[in-house]
Amino acid sequence: MNTRVVELLGLKSPAGVHPPSQKLAATTRIEFAPLPDSAILPLQQHIGAPAKAVVKKGDKVKVGQVIAEASGFVSAPIHATISGIVKQLATVASPVTGHPVSGVIIESDGKDEWIELTPADPEALSKEEVLTRVKDAGIVGMGGATFPTHVKLSPPPEKSIKSIIVNGAECEPYITADDRLMLEETDRILRGLKTMMQVLSVKRAYIAIEENKPQAIARMRQAVTESSLPGEVEVVAVPAKYPMGAEKTLVKAILGVEVPEGGLPMDVGALVQNVATLAAVYDAVALGKPLVERVVTVTGLVSEPKNLLVRFGTAALQLIELCGGIPPEADEMIFGGPMMGIAQVSYDAPIIKGTNCVLVKQSDIRVEHSCIRCGRCIESCPMDLMPLMYVNYVKRGAYESLSDYHITNCVECGACVYNCPANIPIVSYIKIGKTELQKQGEK
């Protein structure tokens, strides 16, 4: 096995922006967050069909017990994250869309009683058995996209995967959950990678980490050297530039190829997986442990930014209080980072599978002005698009013209907004444009 650190700094750096990193919790070790008194679990915590509840009010449940089963191939089950009683089946606000979705509320019995887990030797399992364990564990992409992992590991026969890219870039400001995971849970990540390489019969993998995380690069390099991974694995130091962590940006930077418009990395023989997802895959396959918790960075205006291991369904307010509470000047909370994160309607919003950060901040309300056609949004776009044209066409209602400028290739990273001197919420216009274009296609 050839192991080396590949510096991509000599290559042409992709377009993007350099927002202040603000990695306030970078040196703070992962701590266990106390269990919540009650867990609010939305049944739509992934891309695809929502899970369907299989419990009813009054049922006793243990940690890891399935409370909602997948309702299709592109779906994922939801598990109890605390032991106790199902308090009610309710309609709750989705932390992702804000829309009402079905949910299950569990009241804790204080025992943290688990189902019986079924450990296994990953190398003794067939490909089908590994995929079943990943699917049954409810694992989804934990970098924020939340695409069911078993689907990614089941590409069509004509889409042969040649390379796995492990996404440890964590390019969003403030977020440090993946950085700490790479430093503290290196072995779980690499064991998960080994399982994926074996399932897909892949002989080449890249672990991509931004150059501003030298400790993680060194730690992963040492661990890869000492491991028995089934192929050639390279630890890649990529430029510290947002949005380096976007799938298509990583594929282009590392493999030198572009994912086709409307396509996926598998169209060019690549699979991209977040480091937290790999750790969860190891837990599911080797330990039989379903996905019930994740590392979350709690940061921003809190007095003690921390990285916490949190059970899903825990209210954000509980975590914020662990970090010193809400200061008077804070009036906004975002799940995720400041570039692509989603503002929440309440401090009681529950942590779900895709929540990697709770950012407490002061809102920054800016007056939108007319576009001056300076071109900064074009210069910033990592996908080489023309964002100003999307704003123009959406304002005019000329949605059919959006396809001429390849709007479906936009990853909504917000780099264009960051550099816009007119304070135009370009991504909001893009979201509207995509929605309207889809409606036209459905007619």
Could you tell me which of 51, 66, 62 has the C-alpha nearest to residue 102? 51
pLDDT for the residue numbered 443: 65
Residue span of the structural domain in which 383 resides: 376-442
Separation in Å, CA 154 to CA 134, 200, 237, 277 = 11, 8, 29, 16
Question: Is residue 82 within 8 Å of 313, Cβ to Cβ?
Answer: yes
Co-location of 274 and 155 in the same domain: yes
**Is residue 314 domain-resident?**
no
pTM for this entry: 0.94
| Three-class DSSP category at 102 | strand
**What's the burial of 109, exposed, middle or buried (CB within 10 Å: 0-12/13-18/19+)?**
middle
Co-location of 130 and 279 in the same domain: yes
Select from 235, 268, 287 the last residue of a domain: 287
Q: What's the domain count of the chain?
A: 2
**Is residue 298 domain-resident?**
no
State which residues of the chain have pLDDT below 50.
1-11
The CA-based angle 15-173-315, given to 5 degrees, is 135
Co-location of 276 and 410 in the same domain: no
> At how many degrees (to 10) do helices 177-184 and 275-282 cross?
50
pLDDT for the residue numbered 13: 59
Which amino acid is present at 107?
Answer: E
pLDDT for the residue numbered 440: 85
Cβ contacts of 45 within 8 Å, gap of 6 or more: 51, 76, 78, 140, 146, 312, 352, 353, 354
**Is residue 427 domain-resident?**
yes
How many other β-carbons are positioned within 10 Å of the β-carbon of residue 340? Answer: 18
pLDDT for the residue numbered 262: 85
Q: What is the CATH number for 163?
A: 3.40.50.11540
pLDDT tens by residue, 162-193: 999 999 999 999 999 999 999 999 999 999 99
**Is residue 37 domain-resident?**
no
Select from 243, 261, 287 the last residue of a domain: 287
pLDDT for the residue numbered 1: 37
Beta bridge partners of 300: 360
Select from 239, 272, 287 the last residue of a domain: 287
pLDDT for the residue numbered 3: 38
pLDDT for the residue numbered 15: 85
Could you tell me which of 169, 180, 175 has the C-alpha nearest to residue 337? 175
Distance separating alpha carbons of residues 432 and 394, to the nearest angstrom: 7
SS (H, E, C) 284-340: HHHHCCCCCEEEEEEEECCCCCEEEEEECCCEHHHHHHHCCCCCCCCCEEEECCCCC
Q: Classify 376 in phi/psi space as left (phi over 0), alpha (psi -120 to 50) or beta.
A: alpha
